Structure 1
Amino acid sequence: MANRRKSNRSKEKETDWQERVVQIRRVTKVVKGGKKLSFRAIVVVGNERGQVGVGVGKASDVIGAVRKGVADGKKHIVEVPLTKANSIPHPTYGVGTGAKVMMRPAAPGTGVIAGGAVRTVLELAGVRNILAKQLGSDNPLSNARAAVSALSALRTLADVAEERGVSIEKLYS
């Protein structure tokens, strides 16, 4: 009986992850007999409570590519510190290949002001109020990775105080 309860809990943990496909692209590889066709899927995985990851999967069919993308995304999960207003603690900047993403915290009620893959990453991370801008490349994979890079660079006051070995009150003075 205990084993059943345990398996039900693990199923619950599995189901609170959400997946969104950002892009599916048909790619080809030139081989001896001609061209080999496959699909590349860019998938964002998140639990809307401060954890998000971007994954890429390639397979000969779309379903297989998405499945591999989800598995890859779960391997590359980052923790995002959220404020009480479901925003980020401070402005941040992320780079992913040729893409750059700038993010700023926003007041409650602002919503997610971002476009494309960055919007998907922020929504699945659980961010509800933010201003974000994509700079440079418009490649969805590069922008998604830049967004994850920016989110992984975030630190709370408690983290900074612990890192410096001082109290939070000392940081304000």
Structure 2
Amino acid sequence: MAANRRKGTRNREKDTDWQERVVQIRRVTKVVKGGKKLSFRAIVVVGNERGQVGVGVGKAGDVIGAVKKGVADGKKHLVDVPLTKSYSIPHPSTGAGGGAKVFMRPAGPGTGVIAGGAVRTVLELAGVRNVLAKQLGSDNPLNNARAAANALAALRTLGDVAEERDVSVEQLYS
């Protein structure tokens, strides 16, 4: 019994390093037989600023419930992001989500996060501090956040590529 309590506190401690930011809250209505049913949709980005980030959506009758569901959904859809020593991304990347495309390029130390809207939130919570990003196509925050997460998921390090090709990292340079 005591071991279970300790395990629970350890999980709670692990959960405290996650940050969550609400990108958008929308009031949505559904027309039903008796009239209109109101509910709320929350787009939430969850990240630990150390290379993990997720985008989640939650719907509920109240805002707090929608945000809680969004956080839970974001933690289910986590993406691992490889970061360089200068807290940038290893190579240029493009991601798509719905009608949105997001293009990202690595940047030198001191550049900061040059991005707008939901993409900026995703990059900041992933722990990226130096990057250039551009949203192309749609201006829908959900699609842009998902496109940014897809672009981050497509990133690979030299070690990953070397392992995939069954060669050493030194052989990649020659």
Q: Indicate the SS of the match to 1:67.
A: helix
Q: Give the partner amino acid of 2:153.
A: S
RMSD (Å) for aligned C-alpha atoms: 1.0
Once the two structures are TM-superposed, the CA of residue 5 in structure 1 deviates from its matched residue by 4.2
Measure, in 1, the Cα distance between the counterparts of 2:162 and 2:72.
35
Task: Please list, as runs of the form range in 1=range in 2, the aligned pairs for 1:145-160 lying within 5 A after superposition.
Answer: 145-160=146-161
What residue number does 2:113 align with?
112
- How far the C-alpha of 1:81 sits from its partner, in A, is 0.3
Percent sequence identity over aligned pairs: 84
Which residue matches 1:70? 71
TM-score, with length taken from structure 1: 0.97
Q: Shift of residue 6 of structure 1?
A: 3.4
Distance in 2 between residues matched to 1:28 and 1:3, nearest whole Å? 43
Partner residue, 2:43: 42
Q: Which amino acid aligns with 1:111?
A: G
In the alignment, what sits opposite 2:18?
17
* One-letter amino acid of the counterpart of residue 138, structure 1: D
Q: Hey, what does 1:144 align to over in structure 2?
A: 145
Aligned position for 1:80: 81
Mapped pair 1:28 → 2:29: yes
In 2, Cα distance between equivalents of 1:5 and 1:67: 24
Counterparts of 1:39 and 1:133, CA distance in 2: 29
Structure 2: unaligned runs, 5 residues or longer: none
In the alignment, structure 1 residue 96 sits paired with structure 2 residue 125: no
Deviation at 1:57, TM superposition (A): 0.3
Instruction: Kindly report structure 1 stretches of 4+ aligned residues shifted beyond 4 Å.
Output: 1-5
Q: How many residues align?
A: 173
AA paired with 2:127?
Answer: G
